[in-house]
Structure 1
């Protein structure tokens, strides 16, 4: 199946049937998020995986009232690193040097350039907003990978981040939730959107072609 075929098949399912996503399938979807591109390769966000039905029920009650949270197989939360960004840069440079067998000093120019970009952003809050945009690249990878696996993936912003972070103890882990995705399989009997035609703008009204 081509990616385009998979994207025509997918939609944001509103009701899921509770069937479990196979472990190897789930790992491939999560690995697609891990392999997502990000500015400078910094990847300033992490993926929080919640499978426990009991914990998802608590999140549904306190922070995320959508039915997909409890009807799905797994919940993925994309959370930015709420830590000093220059420290994150140093950690990334060290990891890059280890992975590629380089002396860190060879990467000093790259380090200084990335830290200069952080300085230009002007505040920690601005850096967090930038990190959230990087996380959304990962969201796109999750949705695409899930579609290729014929797994429904429902992205959700309609939750209370502070309450969700508190319920999961994300603050203690230096994380701040941005968006989440429920994974599972569509319940075609309860979800009227399952059989509806996909509505998108025609290509000629979507693509702006310049000479």
Structure 2
């Protein structure tokens, strides 16, 4: 069995973290880079990640997370956010960055730039937010896999009140909205869920080959 599959079998949605164990800066940097390297549609990064270690902030967030203690007891809380809108400036900044990094002439970039501007311009604000939210889920999946490979425990969470998170984290002035949570750290030795066998469909049922 490959090490990747072993680590994915080791991974589970951690219910109880050991609050005394803290991720090293090296591990945190791996997660930051993994987030930044996540695939996004067109390469347009309309998502951000907050890394929260401050216990006082997280204590306030627990009551708006249906009292799920992972938010407080994990080493760090990763909060994945979307932009509240995608503006022409976002598209232009992206293509200007391509021009700088790859030294691509504007004559080559222009049709792609104009095409993406036109596509985004036809969307409603709600459609643009939905599009960004899909990118957030891609990032979440990527982070969970990287956590498993790095032997970091994690718990993906949708169970929280986004508006309260936005308020406490003062995200509105930053043009951001909370969509997903990922507490990360190390499992507690008495977390009963860590020893439970995974329950999955047989590969023959989960995967269809044509």
Common fold: TM-score over 0.5 = yes
TM-score of the pair, normalised by structure 2? 0.94
Whether the aligned pair in 2 keeps the contact of 1:97 and 1:104 (CA below 8 Å) is: yes
Name the counterpart of 2:202. Answer: 202
Q: What is the distance in 1 between the residues matched to 2:105 and 2:66?
A: 46
**Aligned partner of residue 181 in structure 1, secondary structure:** strand
Whether the aligned pair in 1 keeps the contact of 2:157 and 2:181 (CA below 8 Å) is: yes
Q: What is the distance in 2 between the residues matched to 1:94 and 1:2?
A: 40
Name the counterpart of 1:98. Answer: 100
Q: Counterparts in 2 of 1:115-194, with a 5 A limit?
A: 115-120=117-122, 122-189=123-190, 191-194=191-194
TM-score of the pair, normalised by structure 1? 0.93
Shift of 1:113: 1.6
Provide the aligned length of Structure 1 versus Structure 2.
Answer: 208
Out of 67, 73, 76, the residue aligned to residue 74 of structure 1 is 76
Whether the aligned pair in 2 keeps the contact of 1:44 and 1:81 (CA below 8 Å) is: yes
Q: What is the distance in 1 between the residues matched to 2:39 and 2:64?
A: 33
**Aligned partner of residue 155 in structure 1, secondary structure:** coil
Q: What is the distance in 2 between the residues matched to 1:200 and 1:123?
A: 38
Q: For 1:7-48, what per-residue CA distance to the aligned partner results, in whole angstroms no more than 9, with x for missing partners?
A: 111000111011101110111022111100111100110111
Q: What is the distance in 2 between the residues matched to 1:104 and 1:178?
A: 35
Q: What is the distance in 2 between the residues matched to 1:85 and 1:205?
A: 43
Shift of 1:89: 0.9
1:113 and 2:115 correspond: yes
Out of 29, 33, 36, the residue aligned to residue 35 of structure 2 is 33
Structure 1 unaligned residues grouped into runs of 5+: none
Shift of 1:62: 4.0
Structure 2 unaligned residues grouped into runs of 5+: none
Whether the aligned pair in 2 keeps the contact of 1:80 and 1:135 (CA below 8 Å) is: yes
1:17 and 2:18 correspond: yes
Q: What is the distance in 2 between the residues matched to 1:115 and 1:64?
A: 40
Out of 55, 60, 74, the residue aligned to residue 57 of structure 2 is 55
Please, which moves more after superposition, 2-11 or 63-72? 63-72
**Aligned partner of residue 180 in structure 1, secondary structure:** strand
Shift of 1:102: 2.9
**Aligned partner of residue 69 in structure 1, secondary structure:** helix
**Aligned partner of residue 49 in structure 1, secondary structure:** strand
